[in-house]
Amino acid sequence: MLPGQHVLICNRDGEIADLVSMADAGDDIESFQGTLSPGFVNAHCHIELSHLKGKIPERQGLVNFVQQVMALREADAETKLASMIQAEQELFTGGTVAIGDICNTTDSIALKMNSPLQWHNFIEVSGFVEAGAEKRFNAAGEIRQQFIQQLSTMPATLSPHAPYSVSEKLFSLLNEHTAGQLISIHNQESPAENDLYEKKSGDFLRLYENMGIDITAFSATGQTSLKSWLPNINKNQTILSVHNTHTSIADVEFIETVTGKEVKDYFFCICINANLYIENSLPPLEILMNKGCKMVIGTDSCASNWQLNVMEELKAIRKHFPAIPWEQLLRWATINGAMALGLGDRLGSFDRGKKPGILLLSDDKASRLL
């Protein structure tokens, strides 16, 4: 965010040349009513699910949501691409400059070839049955190779989908492959996830039954989901932990014991509108803030949100957590997100030499200036 009584100087291509006081800026100054902000970083999205906008009912719970995504996600290539183009335009117009995108297929490659946005592609891996781990891992690896070959300038990293959908063997394969890399995981999005690991009970048992998945070999750990899966990632990865709606103080303190050791860094991605859409729940922001956690912002997908607009995420947080300073929310949406995606040297602030995008925030809307 641009401090008061200062002037931002940039080149025509958006590169920041300097930030000077009003007294040193000269006469050729363009003024705006509002706040100038770097472009937003949307740290969690599923662009390939854009064709599901408005198709899944709200507030049906995570298990019902997952089942409906699986049932409805297939569509013809033209429909998918047209929906992704529309979603990308919404993201761009709303001030997003970079995205952490979850990819289960190669559907989004064509879109990203000529995209004005920067993307980190998280190639998602899932499979809760131990026997199928290597097959699932290899299939995701083939998808990743296509991203690398066709989008050579964009990072693509394998990532576990969620603790309830990744077996211990699959976690082990991912851990070895992703040493030192950035990975993403959906974490503690529903109370049923903790129920599964603590007591082998809860709504996910219904999901496995409906999918014909035999979990006889799975044993409860007696610990929360996070305390159960996080020890499986221990090779200096940076973790982008998404949702975290049922993360406790004890979970955060457990994260603190491994961060900087087994885990290089840990970011909490807040997707408040998706939490309200799916489970009608709120993330534990007071806990995360009191513990000094690193927070970033995501929109999730068109299947689980009314829009793909970071400004709307910030407004929703402000509505439900009015004590959080607006300046802090903007940091989550800009420099924190850029650092999480490894783009802190290019985006997220008005430092000289960066091309972060320039937004005008006024009347609760973000307008793109550059």
Kindly state the DSSP code that residue 350 receives in the 8-state scheme: -
* In a domain? residue 198: yes
* In a domain? residue 6: no
CATH number where 67 lies: 3.20.20.140
Alpha helices in the chain (DSSP H): 62-72, 77-93, 109-112, 133-150, 168-177, 191-199, 204-211, 225-229, 249-258, 272-278, 285-290, 310-320, 326-331, 337-340
pLDDT tens for the chain, 370 residues: list them. 666 678 999 998 999 999 998 878 777 788 899 999 999 999 999 999 999 999 999 999 999 999 999 999 999 999 999 999 999 999 999 999 999 999 999 999 999 999 999 999 999 999 999 999 999 999 999 999 999 999 999 999 999 999 999 999 999 999 999 999 999 999 999 999 999 999 999 999 999 999 999 999 999 999 999 999 999 999 999 999 999 999 999 999 999 999 999 999 999 999 999 999 999 999 999 999 999 999 999 999 999 999 999 999 999 999 999 999 999 999 999 999 999 999 999 999 999 999 999 999 999 999 999 9
User: How many domains is the chain built from?
Assistant: 1
Tokens read off for 345: 């040297």
Angle in degrees, 0-180, between the axes of helices 133-150 and 168-177, rounded to the nearest 10 = 30
Spatial CB neighbours of 72, under 8 Å, sequence gap ≥ 6: 52, 55, 56
* In a domain? residue 234: yes
* In a domain? residue 285: yes
* In a domain? residue 181: yes
Q: Flag whether the pTM goes above 0.85.
A: yes
* In a domain? residue 15: no
Domain that holds residue 59: 39-351
Radius of gyration of the chain (CA): 21
Q: Are 263 and 239 in contact (CB under 8 A)?
A: yes
Q: Are 217 and 157 in contact (CB under 8 A)?
A: no
Q: Are 104 and 303 in contact (CB under 8 A)?
A: no
Instruction: State the greatest distance between any 2 C-alpha atoms of the chain, in Å, as a whole number.
Output: 74
Tokens read off for 82: 């047209």
Express each pLDDT in 201-243 by its tens digit.
999 999 999 999 999 999 999 999 999 999 999 999 999 999 9
Instruction: Using the Cα atoms of residue 162, residue 339, residue 365 and residue 356 in order, give the sign of their dihedral.
Output: negative
Neighbours of 291 (CB within 10 A): 15
* In a domain? residue 58: yes
Produce one character per residue of 237-255: b if its CB has 16 or more CB atoms within 10 Å, e if not.
bbbbbbbbbbbbeebbebb
* In a domain? residue 27: no
